[in-house]
Amino acid sequence: MEASIEGAGAAAMEVGRCAEHGKKLAYFCKREKLRVCSKCVILGSHQGHTVVPVEEALSELKELLSACSKELESKSLEQSSRLEEIDQNVTTTKEEVEALQRQVGDDFDALRSFLDAEEKALKEQIAAEAQDTLQELSRLKMECLQRVESLRTLAEPLHSALQTDNLSEVLKVLNISSDG
């Protein structure tokens, strides 16, 4: 038994010796997670415990490590994929923001053009209406000036008559005949 243990491989060769029995620690007690010798198992404190050769324990632990490693790798891949997804989202979001800003810019340009055109049209309308009013006022002013001129023409003989002592001339201006 001991011979087969000793021949069990490099891993078993490396494991040192039992402090109590002086034999190679060729076994692994699964209950206490300890390396033990064959006497520990047969006669010592590890009787009845489940033990396996060290290299078998190593192999099992390596399988466990491999499983853990694969799980980590899988999780890592998952995160990489998630990362790509997030990056894609960032790109999409930036593109959407740019598109939205372009759209808002275009809408406001259109709005400004519309408002500019409305402003221009309103000002032109106001100017046209004012033009009509000013023309009417100008016409009224001309009429008024003509009346003033007419009145001055009418008043002129009266002023002349006021300057004279000639009765017939005064009567003539007042359109009264002295001949009766």
Binding interface with Zn ion (CB under 5 A): 18, 20-21, 29, 31-32, 37, 39-40, 46, 49
Minimum CB distance to Zn ion smaller for 43 or for 117: 43
Q: Are 40 and 3 in contact (CB under 8 A)?
A: no
What is the maximum alpha-carbon separation in the chain? 182
Closest CB to Zn ion among 2 and 63?
2
When the beta carbons of 40 and 57 are compared against Zn ion, the nearer one is: 40
Q: In the bound complex, what is the minimum distance in angstroms from residue 13's beta carbon to Zn ion?
A: 17
Pick 19 or 154: Cβ nearer Zn ion: 19
In this structure, what is the dihedral angle of CA atoms 161, 165, 166, 169, given to the nearest 10 degrees?
Answer: 10
Q: How far is the CB of 7 from Zn ion (least distance, A)?
A: 19
Q: How far is the CB of 64 from Zn ion (least distance, A)?
A: 19
Please say which residue, 37 or 57, places its beta carbon nearer to Zn ion.
37
CB 25 within 8 A of CB 36: yes
Q: How far apart are CA 128 and CA 106, in angstroms?
A: 33
- How far apart CA 169 and CA 12 sit, in angstroms, is 163
For the bound state, the minimum distance from the C-beta of residue 29 to Zn ion, rounded and expressed in Å, comes to 3
Among 170, 137, 160, smallest CA distance to 152 is for 160
Query: What minimum distance in Å lies between the beta carbon of 33 and Zn ion?
Result: 9
Query: What distance in Å separates the CA atoms of residue 37 and residue 18, rounded to the nearest whole number?
Result: 6
Distance CA 120, CA 114 (A): 10
